[in-house]
Amino acid sequence: MDKDWEKLGQEGLAFFGRMSASISHEIKNALAVINENAGLVEDLALLAERGATLDPERLKRAAAAVQKQIRRGDGIIKNMNAFAHSVDEPVRQVNLDETAALMVALSQRFAARLMVRLETGPPSGVCVTVNPFLLENCIHLCLAFALESAGAQKALTVSVSGTDQGADIVFSGIAEPCGDFPTEMAERVAGAIDARLVFDKTKETLTIALPRKPAG
């Protein structure tokens, strides 16, 4: 597969857009909970001014809900920041556990919509030299297929392991494949980082086989 940079650029922008839309939706959900709890505290204060008894337990619950959403928002923004910085350098050494964990975290909303439990495997400590953004794009395309193909078991694991050539990122739990994979675009994105995509229907796995460093 040729490295058609125009098509890779279009796909990259579309990927960036999908992730940004999902992140902004998550932030808005967190803000909505904060907004309603702040409003509730205001309502309770107004009622107290008119002589109603203020329930300290209700105030504590509202404060706890706000703190929980602030932690959630902070987590979302940290992930967004890590994702945004993945375009800083065209090629660098990447800790694959961290990249897998980031993509799993950023994809939780898609997984929740499909009611699939999405998690990472045990840490591997494996690092490779790669274009971080293209790797994330490749993982995203694989995850989109894998999530739609999780079948009745509704559980998907993304694991990293070292190989002689470099590393494997394995998506396990593809019980009911939804159509053909890899698509032309997935092949193109994988090709741009010198990776191979191997879909094993028997093992119900999809693997991104990565070299230790780019060819050439």
Partner 1 sequence: MAEKVLLVDDETDFLEALSQRMEARGMNVSTSSNAAEALKKVQEEGFDAIVLDLQMPGMDGIEALKMIKKENPEIQIILLTGHATVEKGIEAMKLGAMDFVEKPSDIETLTEKIKKAQAKKIVLVEKRTEEKLKDILGNKGW
- Quote the CA–CA distance of 123 and 159 in Å, as a whole number: 8
Q: In this structure, what are the phi and psi dihedrals at residue 123, rounded to the nearest 5 degrees?
A: -65, 145
Residue 40 interacting with partner 1 (CB under 8 A) = yes
Residue among 11, 12, 15, 34 that touches partner 1 (CB under 8 A): 34
Both tokens assigned to 53: 């008894």
How far apart are alpha carbons 31 and 35 in whole angstroms?
A: 6
> Under rule CB under 8 A, which residues in 93-132 are in contact with partner 1?
112-115
Is residue 175 a contact partner of residue 164, using CB atoms and an 8 Å limit?
no
Binding of partner 1 by 43 (CB under 8 A): yes
Among 3, 5, 9, 25, binds partner 1 (CB under 8 A): 25
| Phi–psi pair at 147, nearest 5 degrees | -65, -40
Least Cβ distance, residue 80 to partner 1 (angstroms): 15
C-beta of residue 127 within 8 angstroms of C-beta of residue 94: yes
Instruction: By CB under 8 A, tell whether 200 contacts partner 1.
Output: no
Shortest Å distance, C-beta 113 to partner 1: 6
Token digits for 205?
């796995």
Q: Any idea which residue has 């998690």 for tokens?
A: 119
* Number of residues this chain uses to bind partner 1 (CB under 8 A): 26
- Indicate which single residue of 11, 15, 19, 37 sits in contact with partner 1 (rule: CB under 8 A): 37
Closest distance to partner 1 from the beta carbon of 115 (Å): 5
Confirm if 180 and 2 have CB atoms less than 8 A apart: no
Strand, helix or coil at 216?
Answer: coil
Smallest Cα–Cα separation from 197: which of 212, 185, 183, 207? 207
Contact pattern for partner 1 over residues 48 through 67, marking x by CB under 8 A? -------------xx--x--
**Given 13, 21, 63, 91, the residue binding partner 1 (CB under 8 A):** 21
Region near partner 1 per CB under 8 A, out of 3-11, 27-35, 92-100, 187-195? 27-35
**Contact pick of 11, 12, 19, 69 for partner 1 (by CB under 8 A):** 69
Residue 182: cis peptide before it, omega within 30 degrees of 0: yes
The answer to whether 35 contacts partner 1 (rule: CB under 8 A) is yes
Question: What is the contact surface with partner 1 in residues (CB under 8 A)?
Answer: 21, 24-26, 28-29, 31-37, 39-40, 43, 47, 61-62, 65, 68-69, 112-115
